[in-house]
Each structure stands twice: as structure tokens, then as C-alpha cells.
């Protein structure tokens, strides 16, 4: 009997020891698993270190701000989903305001015209990373657009020389296609100089945007205006009912200009800049992203670019003898 109890005691102890061993193993596994999760979280945290809590994106003032906001609303939802942070728009009244806001860390990214981008690159450490294409299935050649001179048929303006003595509207002092390329055309093709080019028309005004310049011509406030080809195409539906729309014509066009870039501030973390770039380059894969592309007629999505794309614009600025300070005036 004593041997029986001894065996039973030993058997019981073995069961208890086995149970304790089993209980300790899950504890050990759980600890290892927990440590693994913490490492993953810390790794993700390291990758996103320095990211802004809210991504501030500036809007280029090429048209009515209400319409601009409406067309860009899907972009907020798309970027918030892709980046995992809040996104807000920064509304500016001029290119200069956007540049100064970026230089003072009030916004992280924006769209710019080619010339204003050069200023933003120098003044605000802006880096070009993508450019939209309007043609579905477009190629790298489709990143270019034109500066156009427009008028009404009734004014009998058919060439740059006919601008002499007529009123002329530019969009914004730092606008590539709405001011600088049109002015360069007058200088290069008519033999004018920086000293007398603004005296060639009877009057020169700055309307503030391409759409405002278009309306200035349609309403008869000025005889002619310099505008961007793609910007005007965006607003045709809103102006086609204007009584003078059928008289509107393009009488001169520039050489190809690289389109306005999407840019980001250079001192942001590389991981964030890469995430933003990838979000734009793959926008067509998202339903919400596609909504933004369609609303803005970016049927070809976005192409990757860099600063070298704007060498031709830099050369034009130098030909005009215009410094960044003069571009902002």
C-alpha cells in the first residue's frame, strides 16, 4: 500500500510539474510575441518620424477659389487614406503668397507655375516631384503646354504686332504662361526690350488669374490677354454661354512649356516625400483618386519629374534678365 501511495504521489507531482511547464511556455511565447509587436510599432514609428500631423497643401490661384476647392475636395480624402494623416488646403491669392507660405513653413506642398516654381525652389526649398497629364494614355511629351494670346474677332488683332496701342491683361506677375512667356514673345519676336515692352500696349493690367484674364477679354475690359492653354480649357464650360464666347480666338501661341509641377518642401523627411510622391503617381488605382483626376481633366494621371525638367524655363528667365526678386514683383 505504501508503495502505491508513493507511486501516486510521484505521478501527481509529475502532472503538476508538467502543468507548470506548460503554463510557463505560453507566458514565454506571449512575451516574445509582444516584444515582436513592439519592435514593429517602433519600426513604423521610426519610418514616420518627423512627419507632419497635418499635411498642408497649397492651391494655385488660377481660377475662382470656390470652383477650385470643389474640384480638389476628393484629393483630401484620397491623401488622408494614403498617408494616414489629416490633410488641409491653404488658399492663397497669388503665387507670391504661396511661395512665402512655404518658405515660412505654413504649407508643405503646392502646385506652381513653371516660373514661380523656380522662385519657390530658390526661396522655399521646393522640390518638383510630379506633373499631371491631360491626355489618357499620355506620354512624357504631354507634360508640355502653351502660352496663348487671346482676343475677340471684332478687335481685328491677328498677330503680336497688332497689340501695339491696345490694352493687354496678364494673369499674375510670376505666372509663366500668363505673363512671362507672353512678355518674352513680345521681346523676342518683335525686337522689344525690358525697358519698352510694357509701353508697347496702350495699357497693361494684372487680372490675378487666367480665368479673370479670360473674362476681361470676353467682357471687353481689355482687347487681349496672355493665358495658359490648359487653364482656359478647364473653364470653357463655365464661359461658353457668354455672349462673346463665339468671338473668342487664339491669335498667337508660344513654344512648348513644361506644365506646372506639384512640389513639396525639401526639408521634410525623405520617407514622407516618397509617400506623397507614390500617392500621386498611383492615384489612378484609387476610386477616390480617379474622381480627382477626372474632375481636373488629368486623364493621364501623374508623371514623375525633377528639377531638371525646368531647365528651359530657367533659360528663358535668364534671357529676360529677370532675377527671382523681379519675378515676384
Higher pLDDT among residues 19 and 51, named by residue: 51
Q: 9 pLDDT exceeds 90?
A: no
Residue 33 has pLDDT above 50, yes or no: no
The sign of the torsion formed by the CA atoms of 329, 306, 127, 297 equals: positive
Q: Is 302 helix (H, G, I), strand (E, B) or coil?
A: strand
pLDDT at 46: 73
Cite the DSSP H helix spans in 136-180. none
Residue 328 has pLDDT above 70, yes or no: no
Which residues are CB-neighbours of 295 under 8 A, at least 6 positions away?
70, 71, 72, 74
* CA–CA gap between residue 131 and residue 60 (Å, rounded): 14
Which pLDDT band, with edges at 50, 70 and 90, does 20 fall under? Answer: very low
What is the model's pTM? 0.65
Structural domains present in the chain: 54-141+259-328 (3.40.190.10), 147-255 (3.40.190.10)
pLDDT reading at 175 higher than 50: yes
Q: Do residues 190 and 184 lie in contact, with contact meaning Cβ atoms separated by under 8 Å?
A: no
Residue 282 has pLDDT above 90, yes or no: yes
Determine the Cα–Cα distance for residues 252 and 91; give it in Å rounded to an integer.
32
Separation between Cα atoms, residue 74 and residue 175, nearest integer Å: 26
Residues sharing a CB contact under 8 Å with residue 234, sequence separation 6 or more, in sequence order: 62, 63, 296, 297
How far apart CA 80 and CA 292 sit, in angstroms, is 14
- How high is the pLDDT of residue 206? 96
Is the pLDDT at 263 greater than 50? The verdict is: yes
Residue 90: half-sphere exposure toward Cβ, Cα within 13 Å: 21
What residue has cell string 498642408? Answer: 56
Quote the Cα angle for 208-290-143, to 5°. Answer: 55
| pLDDT score recorded for residue 42 | 45
Counting residues of the chain whose pLDDT is more than 90, the rounded percentage is 59
Higher-scoring residue by pLDDT: 245, 137:
245
- The pairing of strands 126-132 and 302-304 is antiparallel
What average pLDDT does the structure give for the chain?
84
28 pLDDT more than 50: no
Nearest-angstrom CA–CA distance, 238 and 75: 22
287 falls in which pLDDT band (50, 70, 90)?
A: very high
Please give the average per-residue pLDDT across 1-11, as a whole number: 42
More confident position, 111 or 6: 111
The residue among 262, 241, 231, 302 whose CA lies nearest residue 64 is 231
Average pLDDT over residues 209-214: 92
Quick one: average pLDDT of 111-133? 93
Looking at residue 314, its pLDDT comes to 87
Amino acid at each position: 500500500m505504501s508503495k502505491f501511495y508513493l507511486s501516486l504521489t510521484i505521478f501527481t507531482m509529475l502532472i503538476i510539474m508538467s502543468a507548470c511547464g506548460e503554463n510557463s511556455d505560453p507566458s514565454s511565447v506571449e512575451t516574445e510575441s509582444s516584444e515582436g509587436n513592439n519592435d514593429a510599432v517602433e519600426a513604423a514609428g521610426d519610418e514616420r518620424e518627423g512627419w507632419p500631423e497635418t499635411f498642408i497643401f497649397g492651391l494655385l490661384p488660377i481660377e475662382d477659389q470656390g470652383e477650385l476647392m470643389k474640384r480638389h475636395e476628393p484629393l483630401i480624402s484620397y491623401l488622408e487614406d494614403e498617408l494616414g494623416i489629416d490633410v488641409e488646403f491653404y488658399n492663397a491669392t497669388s503665387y507670391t503668397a504661396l511661395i512665402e507660405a512655404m518658405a515660412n513653413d505654413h504649407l508643405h506642398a503646392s502646385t506652381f507655375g513653371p516660373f514661380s516654381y523656380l522662385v519657390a525652389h530658390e526661396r522655399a526649398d521646393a522640390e518638383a516631384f510630379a506633373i499631371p497629364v491631360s491626355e489618357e494614355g499620355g506620354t512624357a511629351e504631354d507634360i508640355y503646354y502653351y502660352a496663348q494670346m487671346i482676343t475677340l474677332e471684332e478687335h481685328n488683332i491677328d498677330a503680336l504686332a497688332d497689340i501695339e496701342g491696345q490694352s493687354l491683361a496678364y494673369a499674375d506677375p510670376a505666372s509663366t504662361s500668363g505673363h512671362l512667356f507672353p512678355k518674352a514673345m513680345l521681346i523676342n519676336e518683335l525686337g522689344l526690350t525690358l525697358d519698352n515692352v510694357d509701353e508697347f500696349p496702350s495699357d497693361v493690367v494684372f487680372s490675378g488669374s487666367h480665368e479673370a484674364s479670360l473674362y476681361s477679354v470676353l467682357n471687353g475690359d481689355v482687347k487681349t490677354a496672355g493665358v495658359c492653354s490648359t487653364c482656359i480649357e478647364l473653364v470653357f464650360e463655365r464661359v461658353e454661354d457668354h455672349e462673346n464666347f463665339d468671338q473668342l480666338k487664339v491669335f498667337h501661341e508660344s513654344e512648348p512649356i513644361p506644365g506646372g509641377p506639384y512640389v513639396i518642401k525639401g526639408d521634410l523627411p525623405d520617407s514622407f516625400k516618397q509617400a506623397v510622391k507614390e500617392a500621386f503617381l498611383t492615384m489612378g488605382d484609387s476610386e477616390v483618386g480617379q474622381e480627382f483626376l477626372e474632375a481636373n481633366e488629368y486623364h493621364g494621371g501623374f508623371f514623375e519629374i525633377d528639377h531638371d525638367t525646368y531647365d528651359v524655363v530657367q533659360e528663358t528667365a535668364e534671357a529676360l534678365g529677370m532675377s527671382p526678386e523681379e519675378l515676384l514683383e
